[in-house]
Amino acid sequence: MPEHLKIALAQFAPKPGEILKNLKTALDFIAQAAEEEADLVLLPEMFLSGYCAPDIMSKLKETREGENLGRLSEFAASNRIAVAGSFLEWDPIKQSTFNTAVFVDDTGKLLEDYQKIHLFDQEKEYMLPGRRLPTFRYRGVDLGFLICFDLEFPEPARSLALQGMQVLLVPSANMAPYGPFHRNFALARAQENHIFVAYCNQTGVNETCEFVGESCLVSPLGELICQVTREEKMVSGVIDTNDISRSQEAYNYLKERRCGCLEPII
């Protein structure tokens, strides 16, 4: 039996360091998505702190048990909608900082988390990479996370697809001059793995970066289900998991790949 999800992408411009203002913006988009009967709303990378200079971001760490994530969970539950996005996490047990994506379901429960594996540029100076590529199920659909720079590598998306993932959620903060890169990678990851890709980017300009927006939802057939350019805007689209089998009718990359049959190069 086919499963459907209505996924909303909340593209906005978080203000660097203004956590409470950014949280309010996120909650406003979540409320809008709930009114439009979305099942899930995806927020950008580091939607609470904004993506800015490392010395600023190092002071904006949150814990997953903190008040702001708690408000997000309560709001998700009261609006009966799932919420996903990434934030700058301080792990008091490991005494380390991570770029962590969380999936809060429509009861406010933290269903799964993912810590960014591929750290971009100066991120290596103040955070550690994650070591897990989990998949999880929500309303009968198997999902997984990558964050921004992760999308530029084929291996993690392929690994998730081989675990049965059907929808890849990608919170992002892609900036100029890398504008068209992520759109191309989203299309490629969707087609080569027979998956949906939900990609939500930051937009706007701050003191260090110009973010390019271009959030989109891509089908396994390489079709853009919905998209937005650079404005602050929420868009949504419905996925039908039947499209996964349709994309495999002419070819099945997961089945036909031949990774272990080549002779070593001497």
Q: How high is the pLDDT of residue 28?
A: 98
Give yes or no for a cis peptide into 177 (omega within 30° of 0). yes
| Residue 167 belongs to a domain | yes
C-alpha distances (whole Å) from 206 to each of 27, 41, 53, 155, 211 are 22, 24, 10, 32, 8
* Residue found by looking up tokens 């419905």 in the block: 238
| From 45, 89, 112, 123, active-site residue | 45
pLDDT per position as a tens digit, 36-49:
999 999 999 999 99
Domains held by the chain: number: 1
Q: Look at residue 111 and tell me whether its pLDDT is greater than 60.
A: yes
Q: Which of 35-44, 176-185, 209-218 has the lowest mean pLDDT?
A: 176-185
Q: State the average pLDDT over residues 85-94.
A: 93
Q: How high is the pLDDT of residue 2?
A: 54
| Residue 91 belongs to a domain | yes
* Residue found by looking up tokens 């996370």 in the block: 145
| Residue 261 belongs to a domain | no
Contact status, residue 10 vs residue 34, Cβ threshold 8 Å: no
Residue 184, number of CB atoms within 10 A of its CB? 11
| Residue 103 belongs to a domain | yes
| Residue 263 belongs to a domain | no
The answer to whether residue 116 is catalytic is yes
Residue 185 in tokens = 């990678």
Could you tell me which of 224, 238, 234, 239 has the C-alpha nearest to residue 203?
234
Domain that holds residue 67: 4-256
| From 52, 112, 148, 216, active-site residue | 148
Amino acid at 266: I
CATH number at 223 reads: 3.60.110.10
| From 61, 112, 116, 216, active-site residue | 116
| Residue 262 belongs to a domain | no
pLDDT tier at 261, thresholds 50, 70, 90: low
Contact status, residue 261 vs residue 234, Cβ threshold 8 Å: no
Q: Look at residue 1 and tell me whether its pLDDT is greater than 60.
A: no
The answer to whether residue 67 is catalytic is no
The answer to whether residue 148 is catalytic is yes
Q: Which of 150-164, 185-199, 214-228, 243-257 has the lowest mean pLDDT?
A: 243-257
Could you tell me which of 258, 174, 166, 264 has the C-alpha nearest to residue 218?
166
| Residue 158 belongs to a domain | yes
| Residue 206 belongs to a domain | yes
Q: How high is the pLDDT of residue 266?
A: 60
**Better-predicted residue by pLDDT, 115 or 52:** 115
